[in-house]
């Protein structure tokens, strides 16, 4: 599944987009905590490959909050972050970086 992130890094919008990509029900939630909980539940035990496209945030706390939810998927799940900024790649904890021309 592929989710466009861009700026601003809106965790509610990103969670909603991931849930939509999973084909799950998208409830009318208002709080960030409610979206976080719903995303955790939607990913629970699922194997997924997620592409987060056009990531610009350098805010580690925001990324960690999203990562906590993504960690509810199966251990073999993978996340690809597409960014043009090397600092962003470091912030998200890149394990293998590929520079494209």
| Secondary structure of 39-83 as H, E, C letters | HHHHHCCCCCEEEEECCCCCCHHHHHHHHHHHCCCCCCCEEEECC
CA distance 38 to 51: 19
Chain centroid to CA 60: how far? Answer: 13
Query: Each residue of 15-55: pLDDT tens digit?
Result: 999 999 998 778 888 898 999 999 999 999 999 999 999 99
Closest to 16 (Cα-Cα) out of 100, 7, 28, 8: 28
pLDDT tens, position by position, 66-97: 999 999 999 999 999 999 888 888 888 777 77
Cα(77)–Cα(6) distance, integer angstroms = 22
């Amino acid at each position: 599944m592929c989710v466009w992130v861009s700026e601003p890094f809106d965790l509610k919008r990103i969670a909603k987009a991931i849930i939509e990509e999973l084909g799950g029900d998208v409830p009318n939630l208002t709080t960030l905590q409610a979206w976080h909980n719903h995303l955790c539940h939607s990913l629970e035990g699922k194997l997924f490959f997620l592409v987060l496209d056009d990531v610009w945030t350098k805010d580690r706390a925001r990324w960690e909050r999203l990562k906590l939810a993504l960690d509810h998927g199966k251990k073999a799940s993978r996340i690809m972050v597409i960014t043009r900024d090397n600092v962003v790649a470091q912030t998200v904890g890149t394990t293998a970086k590929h520079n494209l021309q």
